[in-house]
Amino acid sequence: MIDASTGVIRQHFDVLVGELSPDIVEGFRERGLEVAAHFEMVSSVGGTIDHEAIAYTHHRAGELIKDFARTTPDMLRSSVERAFFERWSSAKLRDTLREDYAFSPVRALAIARTEMGMAMRAGSDVSARACGADEKSWSAAVDACPLCLENAAAGWIAIDNEFPEGQDPHVSCRCSTDYRTVATLTEAETIEDIGEEL
């Protein structure tokens, strides 16, 4: 029975990671290039974004393995216990596990949305830092939850500071982060102030 459940776990996880990895690289890269375009620095930081997108994806795949290994056993425990006490066949356990939330299309979609949102926010952060940005603000989605609205209410904060509810506040978050360079704004404001005094 353990072999059957382990086989199902590996099969579903390998498919999920295999399907997500190219999308994570692309989401990271796409959002990173958008931010670089905002700062008019695509040619300067494009290589950095590509390199960091691949490094990020490898890191997240490792984190997904750990998360999956940590959360899935709890989700499986009741099914495996029931199979043991009711003397299910390996096939019945396999079929039950396939229908369980741990491997359901709903969970896979939640994981995919979460990973894409995280990749896009990470890509924008890497790009913004490479472009010299020093402030960020939370851009809440239209149907943002209270956690994301709390992040948005923080306004512009230093790029190294954490948002009140974190950079990735919940599963399936579709919000993004905007960036700016305060040093440039301060310099421009100073020039305007000097011009007014003359």
Do 5 and 76 lie in one domain? The reply is yes
Q: Tokens 């356990």 appear where?
A: 93
Query: Same domain, yes or no, for 111 and 140?
Result: no
Please check whether residues 112 and 139 belong to one and the same domain: no
| 85 and 179 co-located in one domain | no
Q: Using the structure block, give the residue that is written with the tokens 């040093």.
A: 183
Q: Per residue of the chain (198 residues), what is the pLDDT tens digit?
A: 445 555 555 555 555 666 677 888 888 889 899 999 988 888 888 888 888 888 888 788 777 767 776 766 666 777 777 787 888 887 787 777 777 756 667 777 787 888 888 999 999 999 999 999 999 999 999 999 999 999 999 999 999 999 999 999 988 899 999 999 986 555 554 434 433 444
Which of 132, 166, 182 finishes a domain?
132
DSSP string, 63-94: HHHHHHHHHHHHHHHHHHHHHHHTT--HHHHH
- pTM equals 0.70
Is residue 124 domain-shared with residue 177, that is, in the same domain? no
Cβ pair 120, 134 in contact under 8 A = no
Is 126 in the same domain as 142? no
Q: Are residues 107 and 181 in the same domain?
A: no
Among 87, 108, 132, residue at a domain's last position: 132
Same domain, 53 and 74: yes
Q: Assess whether 21 and 50 both reside in one domain.
A: yes
Domain boundary among 94, 109, 132: 132
* Number of independent structural domains in the chain: 2
pLDDT confidence of residue 190: 42
Please give the residue range of the domain that contains residue 74: 1-132
